[in-house]
């Protein structure tokens, strides 16, 4: 098994920059889209063989240095008793948002259900089949709360932000429940064979810095303290978080994920000697390969061969991205960075 990705997480020497892509498993794959015409997302999760197949296929197709478990960020919510559905056009939606003390108290302790058990078994199969490390993941409690409180995707999650200000006690109780579920789910993935884990706090960029420190940071510190005992590298990721970078880094994570809104050199200057993952704009990968390679070159130049750079997109692969572009990008990153690190 190649450990280029894991070595970069630990800021150890590598022969070239490792690369993988968020959402490399799933909607950008023609094979996955064909499968989804026959099966729902939850039906796939109950099939460990399919979970493993979708997880490992990008490694074979793209030549990336890590696989990412095929799952959904809202999977733990269903184990808490929340009837989540995933609308292919919108994303996760729920009919009854969680906005009251009664609704929070009704959340069950985390325990694997049929879908979660299928995903964990699929992870075991994927770890046995993959020639590169498999990354487990979970949503950060704030991001999960955004879906619960607003009832689905939003540009800026106004109901969640209102709750943060209106009822700090209720907010804390909700974050406690979601933090416990996140830690339990991530530990279960490590036990199933995940060699690294990523916490997606995808929507935390909608918060003001002071609100982040008060309403998110204490629970994120708890998560990363718990993950330290798991013995695998952890990645702390968010989007639109240029104003929160130092605060997020203080919360923890062996690797800090950044999007295209902050330069890598500036990120390193702000958080110090820490591994960084990122940060190509996903839109640069969709159309002209020459444009894609120029943009990738700019990212590598910005990284300047520093130890601990993991090349990735600043967020997930766009559904319209040609698989061949991703393959070409992975090869370009490996080739272009090899000389810098020689």
Query: What pLDDT digit, counting tens, does each position of 120-154 carry?
Result: 999 999 999 999 999 999 999 999 999 999 987 77
Q: Please choose, from the candidates 97, 94, 104, the residue with its C-alpha nearest in 3D space to the C-alpha of residue 170.
A: 104
| Catalytic-residue membership of 147 | yes
Is 148 exposed, middle or buried, given 0-12, 13-18 or 19+ CB atoms closer than 10 A? Answer: buried
Q: 11, 27, 214, 274: which one is catalytic?
A: 27
Q: Give the whole-angstrom CA distance, residue 28 versus residue 48.
A: 20
Catalogue the long-range contacts made by 335-340 (C-beta closer than 8 Å, 24 or more residues apart): 335/16, 336/296, 336/297, 336/300, 337/16, 337/17, 337/300, 337/305, 337/311, 338/15, 338/16, 340/300, 340/304, 340/305
Q: 65, 72, 201, 254: which one is catalytic?
A: 72
The tokens 């999960």 sit on which residue?
A: 144
pLDDT at 340: 62
For the chain, what's the residue count?
Answer: 342
| Catalytic-residue membership of 270 | no
Residue 332, pLDDT above cutoff 70: yes
pLDDT at 154: 79
Q: 36, 221, 250, 297: which one is catalytic?
A: 36
| Catalytic-residue membership of 161 | no
Catalogue the long-range contacts made by 97-102 (C-beta closer than 8 Å, 24 or more residues apart): 97/148, 97/149, 97/150, 97/151, 97/159, 98/148, 98/149, 98/174, 99/149, 99/159, 99/163, 100/170, 101/170, 101/173
Q: Widest CA span of the chain, in angstroms?
A: 59
Both tokens of residue 236? 């702390």
Q: 4, 7, 23, 47: which one is catalytic?
A: 23
| Catalytic-residue membership of 10 | no
| Average confidence score pLDDT of the chain | 94
pLDDT at 243: 95
| Catalytic-residue membership of 57 | no
List C-alpha distances in Å: 331 to 25, 57, 111, 119, 209: 18, 17, 40, 30, 38
Q: What is the mean pLDDT of residues 217-241?
A: 96
Q: What is the pTM of this model?
A: 0.95
Task: Give the three-state DSSP class for 73.
Answer: coil
Q: Please choose, from the candidates 3, 18, 43, 63, the residue with its C-alpha nearest in 3D space to the C-alpha of residue 309.
A: 18
Both tokens of residue 285? 């990968």
| Beta strands across the sheet bearing 134-139 | 67-68, 134-139, 196-200, 234-237, 255-257, 275-277, 309-310
pLDDT at 342: 42
């Amino acid at each position: 098994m190649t450990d280029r990705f894991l070595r970069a997480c630990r800021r150890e020497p590598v022969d070239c920059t490792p690369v993988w892509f968020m959402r490399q498993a799933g909607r950008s794959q023609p094979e996955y889209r064909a499968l989804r015409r026959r099966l729902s997302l939850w039906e796939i999760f109950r099939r460990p063989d399919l979970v493993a197949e979708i997880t490992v296929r990008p490694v074979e197709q793209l030549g990336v240095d890590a696989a990412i478990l095929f799952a959904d960020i809202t999977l733990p919510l269903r184990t808490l008793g929340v009837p989540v559905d995933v609308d292919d056009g919108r994303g996760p939606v729920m009919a009854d948002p969680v906005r009251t003390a009664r609704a929070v108290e009704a959340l069950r302790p985390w325990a694997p259900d049929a879908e979660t058990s299928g995903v964990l078994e699929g992870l075991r199969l994927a770890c046995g089949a993959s020639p590169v490390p498999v990354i487990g993941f979970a949503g950060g409690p704030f991001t999960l709360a955004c879906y619960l409180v607003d009832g689905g995707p939003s540009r800026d999650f106004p109901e969640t932000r209102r709750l943060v200000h209106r009822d700090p006690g209720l907010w804390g109780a909700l974050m406690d429940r979601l933090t416990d579920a996140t830690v339990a789910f991530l530990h279960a993935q490590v036990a199933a064979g995940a060699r690294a884990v990523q916490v997606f706090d995808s929507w935390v960029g909608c918060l003001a810095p002071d609100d982040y420190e008060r309403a998110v940071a204490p629970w994120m510190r708890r998560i990363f303290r718990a993950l330290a005992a798991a013995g695998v590298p952890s990645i702390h990721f968010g989007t639109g978080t240029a104003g929160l970078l130092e605060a997020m880094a203080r919360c923890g994570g062996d690797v800090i994920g950044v999007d295209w809104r902050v330069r890598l050199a500036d990120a390193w200057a702000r958080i110090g000697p820490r591994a960084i993952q990122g940060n190509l704009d996903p839109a640069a990968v969709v159309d002209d390969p020459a444009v894609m390679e120029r943009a990738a070159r700019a990212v590598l130049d910005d990284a300047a061969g520093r130890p601990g750079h993991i090349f990735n997109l600043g967020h997930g692969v766009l559904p319209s991205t040609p698989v061949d572009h991703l393959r070409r990008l992975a090869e370009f990153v490996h080739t272009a960075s090899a000389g810098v690190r020689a």
